[in-house]
Structure 1
Amino acid sequence: MFSPAHIARFNELETPFYYYDLNLLQQTLNACKDAAAEHDYHVHYALKANFNPKVLQAVQATGFGADCVSGNEVLAAVDHGFDKRKIVFAGVGKSDREINAALDADIFCFNVESVQELEVINGLAGAKSKTARVAIRINPNVDAHTHHYITTGLEENKFGINTWQLHDVVSTLKTCPNLEFTGIHFHVGSQITDLDVFKNLCIRVNELHEWFDRQQLPVKVLNVGGGLGVDYYNPDTNTVADFKNYFKIFKDNLLIKAGQEVHFELGRVLVAQCASLISRVLYVKNGQKKNFLVLDAGMTELIRPMLYQAYHHLENISKQDIDQAVTVNYDVVGPICESTDCFRTDVAMPESFRGNLIAIRTAGAYGEVMASGYNLRNRVQSVYWGQQELQGI
Structure 2
Amino acid sequence: MFNQDILNRFQNEETPFYYYDLNVLQQTLDACTNAANRYNFHVHYAMKANFNPTVISKIRQAGLGADCVSGNEVLKAAEVGFDPSKIVFAGVGKSDKEINQALDLDIFSFNVESLQELGVINSLAGVKGKKAKVAIRINPNVDAHTHHNITTGLEENKFGINQWELNDCADALRQSPNLELIGIHFHIGSQITDLNVFKSLCVKVNELHQWFEERGFNLKVLNVGGGFGVDYHHPDTNTIPDFEGYFKVFDQFLERKPAQEIHFELGRALVAQSGSLISRVLYVKNGIKKNFLILDAGMTELMRPMLYQAYHKIENISKGDVAESNKYDVVGPICESTDCFGKEVELPASERNDLIAIRTAGAYGEVMASGYNLREKVKSVYS
Structure 2 counterpart of 1:333, from 311, 314, 331:
331
Shift of 1:319: 2.7
Partner of 2:48: 48
Q: Which amino acid aligns with 1:144?
A: A
- The residue identity in structure 1 corresponding to 2:98 is E
CA distance in 2: counterparts of 1:40 and 1:240, whole angstroms: 21
Q: AA paired with 1:10?
A: F
CA deviation vs aligned residue, 1:185-221 (integer Å, no higher than 9, x gap): 0000000011000000000000000000011011110
Residue in 2 aligned with 1:268?
268
Residues 146-174 of structure 1, C-alpha deviations (whole Å, 9 max, x = no match): 00000000000000000000000000000
Correspondences of 1:192-341 after superposition (within 5 Å): 192-319=192-319, 324-341=322-339
Is 1:18 aligned to residue 11 of structure 2?
A: no
CA–CA separation in structure 2 for the residues paired with 1:111 and 1:348? 45
CA-CA distance at 1:347 after TM superposition: 1.0
Q: Which amino acid aligns with 2:147?
A: H
Describe the SS at the equivalent of 1:319.
coil
CA RMSD after TM alignment: 0.6
1:66-85 pair list within 5 angstroms: 66-85=66-85
- Distance in 2 between the 1:187 and 1:79 partners? 26
Secondary structure of residue in 1 paired with 2:225: coil
Matching residue's letter, 1:379: K
- Give the aligned partner of residue 116 of structure 2: 116
Superposed, 1:95-174 pairs within 5 Å as: 95-174=95-174
Aligned pair count reads 383
1:360 aligns with 2:349: no
Alignment match, 2:378: 380
List alignment gaps of at least 5 residues for structure 2. Answer: none
Q: Distance in 1 between matches of 2:146 and 2:95?
A: 29
Report the 3-state secondary structure (helix = DSSP H, G, I; strand = E; otherwise coil) of the residue aligned with 2:285: strand
**Matched letter for residue 149 of structure 2:** Y
Identity %: 70
**Cα deviation code 1:20-41 (max 9, x no counterpart):** 0011101100100000000000
Alignment partners' CA distance in 1, 2:16 and 2:133: 43
Write the letter of the residue equivalent to 1:361: R
Query: Offset of 1:258 from its aligned partner?
Result: 1.3
Could you list the per-position Cα deviations for residues 43-65 of structure 1 after superposition, in whole angstroms to 9, with x for gaps in the alignment?
00000000000011000000000
Q: TM-score, normalised by structure 1?
A: 0.97
Whole-angstrom distance in 2 between the partners of 1:12 and 1:128: 54
Q: Which runs of 5+ in 1 are unaligned?
A: 386-393
Asked whether the equivalents of residues 182 and 219 of structure 2 are also in contact (C-alpha less than 8 Å), the reply is yes
Q: TM-score, normalised by structure 2?
A: 0.99
Deviation at 1:229, TM superposition (A): 0.2
Displacement of 1:259: 1.7
For residues 83 and 145 of structure 1, the distance between their equivalents in structure 2, rounded to whole angstroms, comes to 34
Q: Secondary structure at the match of 2:184?
A: strand
How many Å separate the matches in 2 of 1:259 and 1:246? 21
Distance 1:375 1:187 in 2: 35
CA distance in 1, matches of 2:195, 2:258: 26
8 Å contact from structure 2 (residues 71, 99) kept in 1: yes
Contact 2:319–2:348 (8 Å) recurs in 1: no
Which residue, 335, 345, 348 being the options, matches 2:346?
Answer: 348
1:44 match: secondary structure: strand
What one-letter code is carried by the residue in structure 1 that aligns with 2:46?
A
